[in-house]
Chain A
């Protein structure tokens, strides 16, 4: 067992972990942050996306010991208290959530895109969600939601 301190959503957690534990297992099982989902567990479905120092990465492909010294943001850290992030609001508004399993990852990737690109093109949105698998929505509603969130974040009207 190794002792490690990981910063998640602004709080430092110190735990004794097995070196073979992934960040995903740490978040879900040690911290109880079950918003981050486990899909394929081999880096193909994108479900387990979290932000590491502001960039989306796959928590199933990262050992928790590698996360030491980095700032992790999970879906639980995206909303400010009860105020949803514009991307989350838009996902609700556009029916971009059905079973909800991919939603945390879609939001994490969407938020990262809009933080770095205020006016994303259709192609850029498609690329941003290209590696997050959704079997319900057919992706169109998710694309529309991210578009609308971009417009909202710029201060423009909806849609």
Chain B
């Protein structure tokens, strides 16, 4: 018998119709449920009893949600495509080498064989208090993310604050997809809807995704860029396994410079600058660095001290730009 996992009911629908019927049934009956794609983040959180759903709906049997295809100038990625398949797919390596690189930077080879792109952009926010064993957590009062009334990171935080929970957003692929202006298709009881990836995220560490309980991402659509070059750099103690302490994606075209950040605030940061609005290139770079620094809220909830993580933001932005310019030559 399982020693660590709490008991739950497990269902694995094999197509989208079955899934819809099941979700409708659960919603009408008022059952508590959660979706699981690859499960590589959900299983550790279940083991640590960070949440205990009554029902686990596994999406792994739905083959319609896997695979990558090209339709005209758009690449459509199924939400259940594994990160390993994404990083090694010919279309992705050809048109979005930086997305392949970012997918390759996630966790470890064994985890990438199972973890999915949909799961990575939906990954739950992390914090050095909540992502611990239940034994460790039991030594403290429950925090806001655990339905309690205190934040162990920001002691003065209280209900009613603009940002209640400071758990960090830690997806590696999302900043690159944000710069590529990806759209996501969401399936729910009301049918399908398509939104910009940037509109998915809220600045709330408890749950930063603007999805209803019955909704899930089915596909990610990315337009092939015409003359944009991207770069992604990740700060982490180890090359394998670590979530980003800071991740900076930079995108440079002839007209625009844009930057996306991960590993800091509850939501990813996205900043754009038009080259024509500035007197010279350096002025634009320093303005976008200032915007990024103004956005970034860092707390000591990581291996790296907060000041170090913050001071690396302009370093990574400038390094990204110089790498892009070097590759163009």
Which residues of A does B touch, CB under 8 Å? Answer: 2, 18-22, 25, 41-44, 46, 49, 52, 55-58, 60-63, 65-66, 109, 127-128, 130-131
A58 engages B111 (CB within 8 Å): yes
B44 engages A42 (CB within 8 Å): yes
A20 engages B5 (CB within 8 Å): yes
> Known contacts being A55-B113, A58-B110, is A43 close to B43, with CB within 8 Å?
yes
The smallest beta-carbon distance between A19 and chain B, in angstroms, is: 4
Bound CA–CA A130/B242 (angstroms): 12
Bound CA–CA A109/B110 (angstroms): 9
Bound CA–CA A57/B60 (angstroms): 14
Interchain residue pairs A-B with the least CB separation, the first 9? A131-B108, A19-B10, A20-B5, A130-B240, A55-B113, A20-B2, A42-B44, A131-B240, A61-B43
A61 engages B6 (CB within 8 Å): no
16 A/B residue pairs, CB under 8 Å, sorted by A: A19-B10, A19-B56, A20-B6, A42-B48, A43-B107, A49-B110, A56-B113, A61-B43, A62-B43, A63-B10, A63-B58, A66-B60, A127-B109, A130-B108, A131-B109, A131-B241
A63 engages B43 (CB within 8 Å): yes
Q: Does B12 contact A (CB under 8 A)?
A: yes
Bound CA–CA A56/B241 (angstroms): 15
| Size category of the binding interface on chain B | 20 to 34
Taking A57-B113, A61-B44 as known contacts, 19 extra A-B pairs with beta carbons closer than 8 A to each other, sorted by chain A number, are A18-B2, A20-B7, A20-B10, A25-B2, A42-B48, A43-B107, A55-B84, A55-B113, A56-B110, A57-B111, A57-B114, A61-B39, A61-B43, A61-B111, A63-B10, A66-B12, A127-B239, A130-B109, A130-B241
A19 engages B9 (CB within 8 Å): yes
CB-CB under 8 A from A46, the residues of chain B are: 108, 110
The smallest beta-carbon distance between A104 and chain B, in angstroms, is: 13
The smallest beta-carbon distance between A29 and chain B, in angstroms, is: 8
Bound CA–CA A42/B47 (angstroms): 8
CB-CB under 8 A from B46, the residues of chain A are: 20
* Nearest-neighbor residue (CB-CB) of B48 within chain A: A42
Q: Is the interface of A mostly helix, strand, loop or mixed?
A: mixed
> Known contacts being A20-B2, A131-B240, is A61 close to B109, with CB within 8 Å?
no
Contact with A along B37-57 (1 / 0, CB 8 A): 001100110111000000010
Bound CA–CA A57/B113 (angstroms): 6
CB-CB under 8 A from A19, the residues of chain B are: 7-10, 56
The smallest beta-carbon distance between A30 and chain B, in angstroms, is: 10
> Known contacts being A43-B111, A55-B113, is A61 close to B5, with CB within 8 Å?
no
CB-CB under 8 A from A131, the residues of chain B are: 107-111, 240-241
A58 engages B40 (CB within 8 Å): yes
CB-CB under 8 A from B4, the residues of chain A are: 41
The smallest beta-carbon distance between A42 and chain B, in angstroms, is: 4
Which residues of chain B in 22-73 are interfacial with respect to chain A, using CB atoms and an 8 Å cutoff?
39-40, 43-44, 46-48, 56, 58, 60
Bound CA–CA A20/B4 (angstroms): 9
Q: Does B1 contact A (CB under 8 A)?
A: yes
Looking at A42, A43, A44, A62, which has the most chain B CB atoms within 10 Å of its CB? A43
A22 engages B109 (CB within 8 Å): no
The smallest beta-carbon distance between B302 and chain A, in angstroms, is: 16
The smallest beta-carbon distance between B21 and chain A, in angstroms, is: 20
A41 engages B2 (CB within 8 Å): no
The smallest beta-carbon distance between B60 and chain A, in angstroms, is: 6
Which residues of chain B in 207-246 are interfacial with respect to chain A, using CB atoms and an 8 Å cutoff?
239-241
Bound CA–CA A44/B108 (angstroms): 9
The smallest beta-carbon distance between A131 and chain B, in angstroms, is: 3
CB-CB under 8 A from B3, the residues of chain A are: 25
A2 engages B10 (CB within 8 Å): yes
* Nearest-neighbor residue (CB-CB) of B9 within chain A: A19
